[in-house]
Structure 1
Amino acid sequence: MTDKLIDTGMVLLDLDDSGVGRLTLNRPEAANGMSVPFLRALYDALMRCHREPALRVLVLRGAGPNFCAGGDIKDFASKGEALPDYLREATSWLQICVTALMRLNAPVVAAVHGYAAGGGGFGLVCAADLVVAAESAKFLPGATRAGMAPDAGVSVTLPRLVGLRRAMELVLTNPTLTAARAQEIGLVTTVVPDDELDAAAAKLAAALAAGAPLALAESKRLLWDGVGRSVESALPDEARTVAALSGTADAREGLAAVIERRRPVFTGK
């Protein structure tokens, strides 16, 4: 039997009898792009996970064609000169959500299809414990392309996952990675045919749910704590940087270019 803990709205959450929870990003019409209301809903769902003693593993996935395309750029662009203040709030919610994923006792499995981009999608992938990707999935850091900087802890998690030089390449040049390439460099745990994604994630989740929960929780904690500079210590710096950059002409140009599907023209202002 499956218990629908949150069954309406922008984020859905259910928990079955084996202890497998499924958290679904549910804004398919916006490629699950992140706005402040969406991030608040994600936070509420994650806090519900933290107070569910029966939760043994959490599968994170996206509704519709994409896992998560990052920030909701149309929502961001609509804020105009108020964007820095809006992004201070958005990044605060995103930071809490990322921390909640990493500090959740239960292992987190991201099941990725379509695009995982920006601080939202790419950042959630970096914050997951294990990542199962469909063969056609695409991964894109995306921040500097829009005149912004990494957030969601990516400035710490990405170099630890793929190495400093590779992280520099990804963040500064923004290549779109195939699932196979993402697995090759260590961003993704495993790649499966598109039509096997749900089954592969469920199989992995079932194996984890059958494990020793206290041992898994403590092992997960030790590994995240061993990252070196803690992700939490980097988050305030990321937030200040993103908010400051969002007030620049280059950031406005970057957002406009993404919306209009053209190459941006940056002026350094």
Structure 2
Amino acid sequence: MKLIESGLVLLNLNDEGVGHLRLNRPEASNGMNVPFLRALYDGVMTATGQPGLRALLLTGEGPNFCAGGDVKTFASKGEALPDYLREATAWLQNVAQALLNLPVPVITAVHGYAAGGGGLGLVCASDIVIAAESAKFMSGAARVGMAPDAGSSATLPQLVGLRKALEILLLNPTLSAAEALEIGLITRVVPDEVLQEEATAVARTIAAGAPRALGAVKRLVWSGLGNRVEAQLPEEARTVSELSGTADSREGLAAVLERRAPRFTGH
């Protein structure tokens, strides 16, 4: 059953109870701007409202799962960027919270890059993550003078530990799928050519289970973190918006677009 047939996010639900939510902005590596984030939130909420949903598979169309924020859009906003990012981060935090609150497990399949607060944040807000062998993971927020969002400043330390999380967020290394698996960021690595098949198989296995029990497992595990993610989201949004108004943030965005090393001044 096709629930969202066209647009920036696509959604269908099969007879087994597996919903398939697809990021559909391939020409921009599924980069996140306000219209995309609105569509993604609508997609998650539409899935939430389906009584037959038993598992949600999240994938990205095109060469990358999600490259994070739409740098070109951000750079074009100039001095209006803080207001724009205030709206964007509000939608992103709604998406992250909706995925965490979804009463069924979320299985995410990653190919290409999962980068930035958006891409890495979606990974961190998922319950099971299957990655292609060639997949890459990075934060990148501090690289452009900003801060992590989508709850990742809370979820990432829980997944990989405090020291490794700080290394990822401060130094912005590009992690291979094997490295991401070793530190506990993802669940499983599979050959590129069978990524969709393997992720779908996991979703089908979950969908065949006891829905209320699996939903309770998810709820209990996440709530066991002491609701730190929910408490962290407003502070992340405030910090990202504040940092986006700095000269270093504008320099970071310009450096990415011009493919050069940024020259940060601390202003």
State the TM-score bracket (shorter-chain normalisation): over 0.9
Identity of aligned residues (%): 67
- Aligned-partner Cα distance in 2 for 1:230–1:47: 22
- What amino acid does structure 2 have at the position aligned with 1:146? V
Structure 1 residue 243, shift from structure 2 partner: 0.3
- 1:211 alignment partner, one of 209, 212, 236: 209
Aligned residues: 267
- Aligned-partner Cα distance in 1 for 2:227–2:201: 33
- Aligned-partner Cα distance in 1 for 2:176–2:117: 18
Q: Indicate the residue corresponding to 1:146 in structure 2.
A: 144
Secondary structure of 2:59 counterpart: strand
Secondary structure of 2:199 counterpart: helix
Secondary structure of 1:222 counterpart: helix
- What amino acid does structure 1 have at the position aligned with 2:80? A
Secondary structure of 1:24 counterpart: strand
Q: Indicate the residue corresponding to 1:233 in structure 2.
A: 231
- Aligned-partner Cα distance in 1 for 2:27–2:174: 22
Secondary structure of 1:110 counterpart: strand
Equivalence map 1:252-267=2 (5 Å): 252-267=250-265
Do residues 84 (structure 1) and 82 (structure 2) align? yes
Per-residue CA distance 1:53-75 (angstroms, 9 max, x = gap): 10000000000000000000001
> What TM-score results when the alignment is normalised by the length of structure 2?
0.99
Structure 1 residue 229, shift from structure 2 partner: 4.6
Equivalence map 1:117-266=2 (5 Å): 117-266=115-264
- What amino acid does structure 1 have at the position aligned with 2:230? E
Structure 1 residue 261, shift from structure 2 partner: 1.1
- Aligned-partner Cα distance in 1 for 2:56–2:43: 11
Q: Indicate the residue corresponding to 1:71 in structure 2.
A: 69
Secondary structure of 1:188 counterpart: coil
- What amino acid does structure 1 have at the position aligned with 2:142? T
- Aligned-partner Cα distance in 2 for 1:244–1:131: 31
- Aligned-partner Cα distance in 1 for 2:258–2:186: 30
- Aligned-partner Cα distance in 2 for 1:125–1:151: 12
- Aligned-partner Cα distance in 2 for 1:144–1:213: 39
- What amino acid does structure 1 have at the position aligned with 2:228? S
The list of structure 1 runs, each at least 4 consecutive aligned residues, that deviate by more than 3 angstroms after superposition, is none
- Aligned-partner Cα distance in 1 for 2:153–2:119: 15
- Aligned-partner Cα distance in 1 for 2:80–2:232: 24
Q: Indicate the residue corresponding to 2:110 in structure 1.
A: 112
Structure 1 residue 259, shift from structure 2 partner: 1.0
Residue pair 1:109, 1:129 contacting (<8 A) in 2 also: yes
Secondary structure of 2:12 counterpart: strand
Structure 1 residue 127, shift from structure 2 partner: 0.3
- What amino acid does structure 2 have at the position aligned with 1:182? A
Secondary structure of 2:262 counterpart: coil
- Aligned-partner Cα distance in 2 for 1:40–1:202: 26
- Aligned-partner Cα distance in 1 for 2:178–2:256: 25
- Aligned-partner Cα distance in 2 for 1:53–1:119: 31
Structure 1 residue 230, shift from structure 2 partner: 2.1
CA RMSD of aligned residues (A): 0.6
Residue pair 1:156, 1:229 contacting (<8 A) in 2 also: no
Per-residue CA distance 1:182-221 (angstroms, 9 max, x = gap): 0000001000000010010011011100110000111100
> Any gaps of 5 or more consecutive residues in structure 1?
none
Structure 1 residue 50, shift from structure 2 partner: 1.1
